[in-house]
Each structure stands twice: as structure tokens, then as C-alpha cells.
Amino acid sequence: MAVQTILKYPHPLLKKLARSVVRLDDEIKALLQDLLDTMEAGPGSVGVAAPQIGVGLRVCVVDVSKSRHGKDNNHGRLLMVNPEIVERSGCAVMREGCMSVPDYTGDVERATEITVRFLDGQSEEQREIQASGFEAVAIQHEMDHLDGILFLDRVVSIATGLFRRKNYR
């Protein structure tokens, strides 16, 4: 049990593709515990991915149950190993901030409903859930870390989304 230091960009690990977990052994269980401890220690944090604490494996934790946006619609604590999004629909923009990119926030468009399949770190079984709203956003944000993607990679426009048409045809 330990709160780990959150790596900050430009740490190279944050831009690397994480490896799949082969077996849910004690090492992975300890990693899940570290992720939970780190998430709970972060101010208002609703998720942490393994690359953020220096481990290049496809593991992340999400818990939006204590947050204002997610408290009425969530699956509680999610301990996700090798998560995969198998279905997504809808889209909405939220202004996201990330512990690995302090001081900045950006508007990011994400699916509003997702179906995620993962090896559950608690039951140690494959599990599939339908998440929506803020929980869906949080899962997509944490899963992006497993692919070396930061919200900065997804920011649509820093200024505004409204542009004058260049020409009319």
C-alpha cells in the first residue's frame, strides 16, 4: 500500500503504448492497490492509470462515486486490467484536467455511452459494463493513458469552435 508520485508530462512514459497484462498475479494486485491509494490521495481525482505512476502496463482504476458529476450514475470502484471499449455511442464535450498535465485544462469530445470489457481486479473474472455520463468520460480518459494519449492530443481548439466559412460553393 503506497501512494505513488504522479508522473508529469514531458515524462516519456506518458506517451508510450502500455503492454497487456499476462496474468493477474500478486505484482498486479499490488499495482492495483498503489493505483487506488494514489487516486484517493489526489485532490478530487476519479482515476489513475498505471503509466501515470511509472508502470507501462494496461491497468487503471476509476471511481467517480464521490464526485459531483458521477455520484448518481456509477459502478463504484473499478479495477480494470486490460480494458477494451467494445462499443461507443453519443458524444459530448467536457473541459478536462489531468494530474499529469497540471495547470492546464482543455475541451475534449468523448463518447457519452460505452461498453467496456476488462479483467476485474476484484473478482478476478472477465467483466463487461455499460458506463455513461461522467463515468464513461473518466474511463475513456484513463484508458487513453494506456495508449500514450493525453487530453492535449484531443483538444479540438484552444480558442473557439466557431469559424467563418472560407468560401461558399
Partner 1 sequence: MHAKDTTCFAVSVVGADRPGIVAGITEVFYRLGCNIADSSCAMLAGEFAMILIVSHKKPFTKAHLLEELKPVCDRLEMTLSVRHLSSSEEQRAETAGEICQITVYGADQPGIVYRVTSALAARRINIMDLQTKLAGSEEEPVYIMLLEAALPEGIIPEEVEQLLSGLKQELQVEIGVRIITPVEL
**Integer CA distances (angstroms), 28 to 15, 34, 153, in order:** 21, 10, 28
Q: 32-61: which residues touch partner 1 (CB under 8 A)?
A: 42-47
Based on the shown chain and the rule CB under 8 A, indicate whether residue 147 belongs to the binding site for partner 1. Answer: no
| Count, residues near partner 1 per rule CB under 8 A | 26
- Does 160 help bind partner 1 (rule: CB under 8 A)? yes
141: which DSSP letter? H
User: Least CB distance from residue 120 to partner 1, whole Å?
Assistant: 21
Among 34, 63, 96, 135, binds partner 1 (CB under 8 A): 96
142 is catalytic: yes
80 CB contacts (<8 Å, ≥6 apart)?
59, 60, 61, 62, 116, 118, 119, 120, 121, 139, 142
Residue 11 near residue 35 (C-beta atoms within 8 A):
no
Q: Which stretch binds partner 1 (CB under 8 A): 12-20, 24-32, 116-124, 156-164?
A: 156-164
